[in-house]
Structure 1
């Protein structure tokens, strides 16, 4: 699949926004139950403003993916059937309630209303994240994405971005929370590495559909592509297959593994073992996660192989190999 840069941009901005707000609000919420996690007012306001700016920039960037931007409002019409519509609704609602939470906190409204807006914002943010992940996971035509691992890994990446941003912010405003969140960030990065490895291993065991299965024919009647039906590139051959990306994918994957996982793990582990709480370590960790996550999302799209590519000769080779035992006894009836 062709990687849309606008969606990668939305992932990075929305991921940091929702993740950062999550840890900011949970720290405030836990302080109600006697934990020493209350944050300085300046830190909370900085996190909220930064999160609000990011989700706004993400929405603007994601609009470039739309063919008719003036019709974006119509996305909400398919809420009951479309994960894309749910993403649009929940993301917009998250941004609005985030603004309400920020205003209620700034003007010092009753604690009940402040936390009411906080809980609603938290729920809407993660509903938005889940809806975005389900856009890919529910796509049965791209087998690489059609798995629960897609959802788990996607949500964990939001936590990776959010915890690392919160860690860097905490260094300036409340140093005593640095060590706990150092461990939390390290945990989510390690968990993300586990999910990503599992995601890649799964691709080796995928049972890809063949041309015979696509045409509902038994495998004792060999089918092969003689003519792709087009002599020039079109929307299907460009958007559902990214030739240049496929050529460099094996080069990009090791890079994003290093930048997204091994660099942050090394920095965080060194800081934890040596007790060196340096801001440069945490800022570099977040920057590495952002750059690496952008490369990872790029690879995620390029790794996707839409089954329509079977008819253009662009599908993985196992899709053109006959398999015994599938529909061998099927009788094809032709009626006039």
Structure 2
């Protein structure tokens, strides 16, 4: 699949926004149980404002993926059946309630209202991220994405971005929690690495559909592509297959692993074991996670192979290999009635 830069931008901005707010508000939420974990008011406002700006920038960036931007409002009409529509609704609602929460926090009108909107914003943020993940995981035409691993991995990356961003915040405002966020960042980095490895290993065992299955024909009559039906590139051959990206994948995937997981894990472990608490160390860690995540998302799109590529000779070779299966029991019947 061709990697849309606007969606990669949305992932980075929305992921950092929702992840950062998640940990910022969670520290506020724990005060309801008598815990002294809250950040100072100005720190909460700074964090919330950054989250609000990021989700706004993400929405603007994602709009470039639309063919007719003035019709973006129509996305909400398919809420009952479309994960894309749910993403749009929940993301917009998240931004609105976040703004209300920050206003209430600034004026400190009513603690009950503050926490009510804080909880609602928290829930809407994660409903938005879950909806985004399901856009890919529910796509049965791209087998690489069609798995629960896509959802778990996607949500974990939001937590990975959020915990590493919050680590920078607590360094200045609540240094006693640096150890906690060093551990959380390490935890989500380790989980992210495990999910990414599982995602790649799974691809080696995918049972890809064949041309016979696509045409609903039995396997005892092998079908092969003689003519792709087009001599020029078109939307299908460009958007559903990215030739240049396929060539770069052997370089991009290892680079994504190194920048997103390996080096950040090494830096966090160094801080944890040695006890060195340096702001520049955590800044480099967050920057590497951000950069690595961008490359990882680019790779995620390029790794996807839409089954329509079977008819253009662009699908992985397993899809053109005749194999035994239930389709062999199908018999071709000719009737004159």
Alpha-carbon distance change, 129 to 334 in structure 1, aligned in 2, over 3 angstroms:
farther
Q: Which residue of 2 is the match for residue 132 of structure 1?
A: 132
Mapped partners of 1:334, 1:297: distance in 2:
49
Backbone CA RMSD of aligned residues: 0.8
Mapped partners of 2:198, 2:325: distance in 1:
28
Mapped partners of 1:255, 1:59: distance in 2:
28
| Structure 2: gaps (5+ residues) | none
Q: Which residue of 1 is the match for residue 319 of structure 2?
A: 319
Q: Which residue of 1 is the match for residue 63 of structure 2?
A: 63
Shift of the alpha carbon at 1:334?
Answer: 4.6
State TM-score, norm by structure 1. 0.99
Q: Which residue of 1 is the match for residue 233 of structure 2?
A: 233
Mapped partners of 1:105, 1:214: distance in 2:
57
* Structure 1 position 255 matched with structure 2 position 241: no
* Structure 1 position 144 matched with structure 2 position 144: yes
Shift of the alpha carbon at 1:81?
Answer: 0.4
SS of the aligned residue for 2:283 comes to: helix
Q: Which residue of 1 is the match for residue 157 of structure 2?
A: 157
* Structure 1 position 268 matched with structure 2 position 287: no
Q: Which residue of 2 is the match for residue 9 of structure 1?
A: 9
Deviation sequence 1:269-314 (CA, Å, 0-9, x none) = 0001111000011111110010000000000000000000000000
State TM-score, norm by structure 2. 0.99
Of 173-182 and 14-23, the range deviating more from structure 2: 173-182
Alpha-carbon distance change, 216 to 266 in structure 1, aligned in 2, over 3 angstroms:
same
SS of the aligned residue for 1:32 comes to: helix
Mapped partners of 1:247, 1:108: distance in 2:
55
Mapped partners of 2:327, 2:178: distance in 1:
60
Q: How does 1:1-336 map to 2 (within 5 A)?
A: 1-334=1-334
Deviation sequence 1:79-133 (CA, Å, 0-9, x none) = 0000000000000000000000000000001110000000000000000000000
Shift of the alpha carbon at 1:30?
Answer: 0.6
Mapped partners of 1:263, 1:249: distance in 2:
20
Q: How many residue pairs were aligned?
A: 336
Mapped partners of 2:81, 2:167: distance in 1:
38
Mapped partners of 1:326, 1:305: distance in 2:
23
Mapped partners of 1:179, 1:40: distance in 2:
19
Mapped partners of 1:54, 1:282: distance in 2:
20
Mapped partners of 1:73, 1:274: distance in 2:
52
